[in-house]
């Protein structure tokens, strides 16, 4: 190890992440990936102990850490409509009927939504076991506030001995975990 002046280093604690559970969030950015027919929806927590959690430098530079995908492919129309309905339920001035005339994804920025976050154990490309926080459900803001949502069991998609075989859902593109970038 190289010699350093440790007396001049400020102590820090390990990175604190939100626990699994329901959160009221605000959409901060939306990117349409038209060629693949999905939206990348970037959010920040806007209520409770973790309000503004992703507004620091790391969050601003790494939107992959706080985004989820909503596909609008033909096979996903029902799920996309559920997403739009939860936005309509949660935002007094958002109307799906009006929005669909232009389908401008930028009009979703600033809207509130309820989400459920859950941890997933996985094996990264280097063969290391890691964990990541994933959006596993969208709800109305009222449902999150009242606790009317379901938190599924922690997902384990690690590869290795004694680990359950991957499912079709494991084939979906995944986002890197916080730990992978040292936050």
35 DSSP 8-state letter: G
51 DSSP 8-state letter: T
What is the band of 5 on the pLDDT scale with cuts at 50, 70, 90?
confident
Mean pLDDT of 10-32: 86
Alpha helices in 34-140 (DSSP H): 57-61, 77-90, 96-99
Residues near 86 by Cβ (< 8 Å), separated by ≥ 6? 113, 114, 138, 139, 140
Q: pLDDT digits over 107-141, tens only?
A: 999 999 999 999 999 998 988 898 999 999 999 99
Query: For the whole prediction, is pTM greater than 0.85?
Result: no
What whole-number distance in Å separates Cα of residue 36 and Cα of residue 83?
Answer: 18
């Amino acid at each position: 190890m190289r010699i350093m002046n440790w007396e001049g280093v400020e102590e820090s604690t390990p990175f604190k992440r939100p626990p699994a559970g329901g959160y009221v969030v605000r959409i901060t950015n939306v990117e349409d990936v038209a060629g693949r027919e999905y939206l990348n929806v970037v959010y920040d927590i806007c209520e409770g102990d973790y309000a503004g959690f992703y507004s620091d430098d790391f969050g601003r530079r790494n939107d992959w850490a706080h985004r989820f995908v909503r596909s609008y492919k033909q096979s996903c129309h029902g799920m996309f409509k559920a997403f739009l309905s939860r936005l309509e339920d949660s935002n007094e001035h958002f109307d799906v009927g009006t929005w669909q005339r232009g389908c401008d994804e930028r009009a979703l920025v600033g809207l509130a939504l309820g989400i459920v976050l859950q941890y997933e154990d996985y094996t990264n490309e280097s063969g290391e076991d890691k964990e990541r926080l994933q959006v596993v459900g969208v709800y109305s803001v009222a449902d999150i506030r009242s606790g009317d949502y379901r938190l599924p069991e922690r997902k384990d998609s690690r590869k290795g001995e004694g680990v359950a075989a991957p499912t079709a859902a494991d084939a979906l593109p995944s986002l890197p975990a916080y730990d992978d970038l040292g936050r």
